[in-house]
Each structure stands twice: as C-alpha cells, then as structure tokens.
Amino acid sequence: MDRPTLRRAVSRGSSRPRRDAALLAWLLTAVLFCAADTVARGYPFGPRTRAVNDLGNQYVPFHAHLWDLLHGRADGGLLVNWQSGYGSSFLPDLGTYLSSPFALLVAVFPRAEIDLAVYVITVLKTACAGAAMAWLLLALRPGRRWAAGLLGTSYALCGWSVAVASYNPMWLDGLLALPLFCLVGEWALTGRRPLLGVLVVAEGWIANFYTAYMATLAAGLVLLLRLALADLDRARRVRAAARAAVTAALGIGLAAPLVAVVWSGTRHAYPGRAVDFTPVPARDLLARLLPTTYTFASPAVWVGTTALLLAFALPFDRRVPRRVRAGWTVLVAAVALSFQWGPTHLLWHAFATPQGSAYRQAFVLCGLLVMAAWTSFAHGPPEPRALAAAGALLG
C-alpha cells in the first residue's frame, strides 16, 4: 500500500468513531428534547403553547414573512417588510434573525404551520450542536465514542440551551458555532483544511453574528490553551496561531457585508433602555451549576450531574498530566469569573450590556465544562479519590 492510500485509510479509520459519536449525540438530543416537551405537554405534543413573548411576537412572524418571500407571496421584499406594523426595514431583521441556513426549512412547511417549522428548526439546531461537540471531543483527544456522544448531548441540552436559547432560536446557531470554531482551531493547529475553516467561520458569523462573536472569543481561548499544552516549539506555535487568526479574519470578512448591514441598522434604530450590569451573588452563580434550577437573572450553566462531576474531578485526577489539569481548570475558572466582572462582561457582549438576561454568553462556560469533563474521562475513569473530592466539591 502506497503512502497516500495508507494516509486515507488511517483518516477513514479515525473519523468513524467521530461519526458514531456525533450520530449518537444527534439522536439522543433530538429524542430527549421532544420527550421533555411531550412530558410537559408542550407544543406540538400538547396544548401548552411556546409562542409567547419574543418568540410569538417577533421570531415566528419573521419566519412567516420569510416563507412568503420564498414562495413569492410577500408584501414587500428584502429591503422593506410591509407586513410589519406600518412597514419597516427588513434587511437588518433578516441578518439578525433569519440568516441561518436552517431558517430556509420553513419553505417546506405549510404557511399555517410556521410554529411547527420553528419548533423543528429549534430541535435540529440543538441536535446538530450536540453532534458537533461530540465530534470535537474526539478531535481533542481519542476516547470512547459513547462517552463523547453522551457529553455532546449534555452540552446540547445545557441550561442555557433549554432555558434561554430554545425560545430565541437564532442564538442556537452560536451553540453550534462554538464546537465548530474549536474544530477550526484544531485544523489551524495541524495545518489542515484552511479553506473549509474560512467557510465555517463565515457561515457561523452569517447565521448569527451576536453569538458567533462570543463563540469566536471562546474558541480563541481554547486554541491558546491547546497551543500552550502542545509539544511544539515556539516557531510552530506562532505559525499555528497566525493560521488561526488569518482564518478567522477571512471568515469574518466574508460575512462582513451582512454583519455591516445589521450593525448599521442597529446603530440607527430607536435607542433602547440603558442598562447597567450588576453581577449576581456568587451563590446564585454556583447554584445554577445544578440541573433544574432557574432564575431569569442568573446564568444557566448546568450541563448535567455526571458531566459536572467529571469536570470537578479533573483537578484531582493524577492520571491526567499536571499541566493539562492546571490548564483546563484555570481556563474554566477564569471564564466563570469573567462573567462577574464589568469590563469582561462588556467584552463578552460586544461592549453593550444587553437588556433582559445579562448572561447570554453562558453557553461558552457550558461548553468548557463539557470539554473539561471529557479531558478527565478520556484519560480513563477518574480515580476514586478524585471522584470523592469532586463529590465533596459538588456538595
């Protein structure tokens, strides 16, 4: 067997576990998402509607207008939407709420079933985020595919996804962008797939620039940690960082025409209410690590008890190299603390405190917790002493 054939064979062998893990995460996420709504008797499995607040008053109508545009029945076009109030500009709304490729799926549903179309899009985005995370975990370090699939599901059904983004479907593109951008960082680290990396970044920013911005910051932090832990000389580290920076710049540049329109529309819109950031008490932040907790004002960062225990066990597990333990622990702790400090809070939110929930970047911490949990488990089941320490820390 010649060398190119051998390389392709090895590549196929290494990608199969990732495909299996991604498929498991996709299926589990979709089934559990729908099963939860069935138990709760929520639409479309029961009488309780989801179309309340912004979802019912903005996002579903926007998707209905997109359906009209795609079928040539709209009263207006890409520039003006005459079906909204007395008429309003539509291009900024398109770039903010409807630029995800998933949004085009509304075209295959009946006009009277736009609510169902938005629900299906929500499930698909969430399931794809779980699949992407499962693929990423096995790219970070080889391990058991079933564990990667389960942790990918934990990420997809994290507190931020279920309690916040499921009613803001455009933010779910950020949930998907985070593992994809981290994969782009892995490609930059090894010098592979430069063109695909640019396209992934561009599509992430086009789909939803707001959460893509947060995902880009987080992926940059993960790449810096990976570079610090990699067995590379200084010159190779610099080249890898430069490749990642160029890839991100080119991808954002491709998305710039649409992002610039949204930015301009936001800048000239009617001024909103000014909000000052006030961090929640530390006990509230820590409490939201526990499943089934809810308050509107604090970040929903739970990823499931098992994933949380594995993440807590990482600093104490001597099977994991000390530098790896220290690196991931410091990164997770630093990101959590950055949520509570005014300047870094503004950095996460593009220097504007949002109205409503002030922790819209919480999915970043959820993703890092899952990566830390995988780092712990991929080195082998944690030692009993490490699990005991994690249990005490959780308690």
Domains in the chain: boundaries: 17-270+280-394
Alpha-carbon Rg for the chain, nearest whole angstrom, is 21
- Position 296 scores a pLDDT of 86
What stretches in the chain show pLDDT beneath 50? 1-13
* pTM of the predicted protein model: 0.94
The pLDDT value given to residue 270 = 65
Which residue, among 197, 235, 201, 232, has the nearest Cα to 216 in the 3D structure? Answer: 201
What pLDDT does 156 receive? 98
What is the structure's pLDDT at 87?
A: 81
Task: Give yes or no for a cis peptide into 44 (omega within 30° of 0).
Answer: yes
